[in-house]
Chains A and B, each alone.
Chain A
Amino acid sequence: MDSRSKLIDLAAFLDRVQRAGQEGDFRVQALKNAIALLSQDQPQRAKDVLLSFSDPSTAPVEKAAMQGAIGAYKK
């Protein structure tokens, strides 16, 4: 029931975003890419979803441009 509720809530969120014309937001795109990972066969969906949101670069940045995090890496 808990997962069903969360899934419907996610679906409703995407509906809301689309009605608001915000589908192009990189965070929405990242969410949709992550959702596609749920259909895979191996039991590492949670890990793969987190990896899909993550900054893949390895070198430190020159300076912190902001203090907060957003939730998805902007390419």
Chain B
Amino acid sequence: MNYIEPHGHMVSRTTDDYERMAIAGCQAICEPAFWAGYDRASAEGFYDYFRQITEYEPKRAAKFGIQHYTWLCINPKEAEDLALADDVIALIPQFIDKPGVLGIGEIGLNKNSRNELKIFEQHVQVAQDYDALVLIHTPHLEDKLKGTRLIVEALKNFPKIKPERVIIDHVEEHTIDHVLDHGFWAGITLYPESKCTPNRAIDMLEQRHAEQIWMNSACDWGISDPLAVPKTMQAMRQRGWTTEMIQRVAWDNPRKFMGQSEKFKL
């Protein structure tokens, strides 16, 4: 069964992963801009990174028959430096019209600081100015609840941003209702230890009837699994999900959300 990987940091993965994903049925991968594992020294570093994810990664994916889409931003972990963040955000207009760029992301919060919130709101303003889709990262572990609440509250200051054009990712059992009840899409991330297991993801999907939810691996440079989505699809089968139900989550939902950008051609 074909599927879409809506959140994968392929810049940190090898071609073996592309091959395995293609064999597993992946038709498209969406790659948000994120933290490299260290703090970049300058905006020039981000310029090169944006070139890599908008120009090189799509070519690498295409060799395996996979479409590749991108999101742009400075990630929350590097948003404490306001001067750097301003310079990076100023680069976005140079890339936002490139084919394959779906919108702004993964913006959000990390430690829920004032500077992070300021930069988050600057990104949302850019998204509003360009009528772009928005993909949001919610903080890790003990910071997630507070960050999710701050994010939802901040989005209320942007009346032109339509909730159905925003996905708030990495939800868990204590944040998913808050996200969905405000009309936003929710992303469930299948990542070892710090995020969800397949069975927890399936529980949440069943509770919320799979409405406006997608699932992703967020595979990156850490211990993570680029095949987390097809493995969860298998877990769904074992729990009695029909093909139609699985397709809804793994194909229809991400296609519906990202199809709101005319650049998403799947």
Residue of B nearest to A2 (CB): B199
Main secondary structure of the interface of B (DSSP, over half): helix
Pair B112/A61 contact, Cβ less than 8 Å:
yes
Pair B113/A51 contact, Cβ less than 8 Å:
no
Pair B139/A50 contact, Cβ less than 8 Å:
no
Q: Which residues on the A side are within 8 Å of B114 (C-beta)?
A: 60-63
Closest Cβ of chain A to B239, distance in Å, is 13
Q: Is A39 an interface residue (CB 8 A)?
A: no
Pair A50/B172 contact, Cβ less than 8 Å:
yes
**Interface-central residue, A44, A68, A72, by most chain B CB under 10 Å:** A68
Q: Which residues on the B side are within 8 Å of A63 (C-beta)?
A: 80, 113-115
Kindly state the separation between the CA atoms of A67 and B93 in the bound complex, as whole angstroms.
28
Residue of B nearest to A63 (CB): B113
Pair A58/B111 contact, Cβ less than 8 Å:
no
B142 in complex: contacting residue of A46, A62, A65, A72, CB < 8 Å = A72
**Interface-central residue, A44, A61, A70, A73, by most chain B CB under 10 Å:** A61
Closest Cβ of chain A to B15, distance in Å, is 30
- The count of residues in chain B whose C-beta lies closer than 8 Å to any C-beta of chain A is 25
- Give the contacts of A17-31 with B (CB-CB under 8 A): none
A54 in complex: contacting residue of B116, B144, B200, B203, CB < 8 Å = B144
Pair B113/A54 contact, Cβ less than 8 Å:
no
Q: Which residues on the A side are within 8 Å of B87 (C-beta)?
A: none
Q: Is A66 an interface residue (CB 8 A)?
A: yes
Q: Which residues on the B side are within 8 Å of A57 (C-beta)?
A: 146
Kindly state the separation between the CA atoms of A70 and B140 in the bound complex, as whole angstroms.
9
Pair A64/B111 contact, Cβ less than 8 Å:
yes
**Interface-central residue, B142, B146, B150, B174, by most chain A CB under 10 Å:** B142
**Interface-central residue, B110, B115, B146, B150, by most chain A CB under 10 Å:** B146
- Give the contacts of B102-157 with A (CB-CB under 8 A): 110-117, 139-146, 149-150
Q: Which residues on the B side are within 8 Å of A56 (C-beta)?
A: 145-146
Closest Cβ of chain B to A30, distance in Å, is 9
Pair A67/B111 contact, Cβ less than 8 Å:
yes
Kindly state the separation between the CA atoms of A2 and B80 in the bound complex, as whole angstroms.
41
Pair B144/A64 contact, Cβ less than 8 Å:
no
Pair B142/A53 contact, Cβ less than 8 Å:
yes
Q: Is B255 an interface residue (CB 8 A)?
A: no
Pair B110/A64 contact, Cβ less than 8 Å:
yes
A67 in complex: contacting residue of B110, B146, B150, B173, CB < 8 Å = B110
Pair A61/B111 contact, Cβ less than 8 Å:
yes
Q: Is A69 an interface residue (CB 8 A)?
A: yes
Q: Which residues on the A side are within 8 Å of B9 (C-beta)?
A: none
Q: Which residues on the A side are within 8 Å of B142 (C-beta)?
A: 53-55, 69-73
Closest Cβ of chain B to A42, distance in Å, is 13
Q: Is B77 an interface residue (CB 8 A)?
A: yes
Pair A54/B174 contact, Cβ less than 8 Å:
yes
Closest Cβ of chain B to A15, distance in Å, is 21
Pair A60/B173 contact, Cβ less than 8 Å:
no
Pair A69/B141 contact, Cβ less than 8 Å:
yes
Residue of A nearest to B140 (CB): A69
A interface with B by C-beta (< 8 Å): 44, 46-47, 50-51, 53-58, 60-73
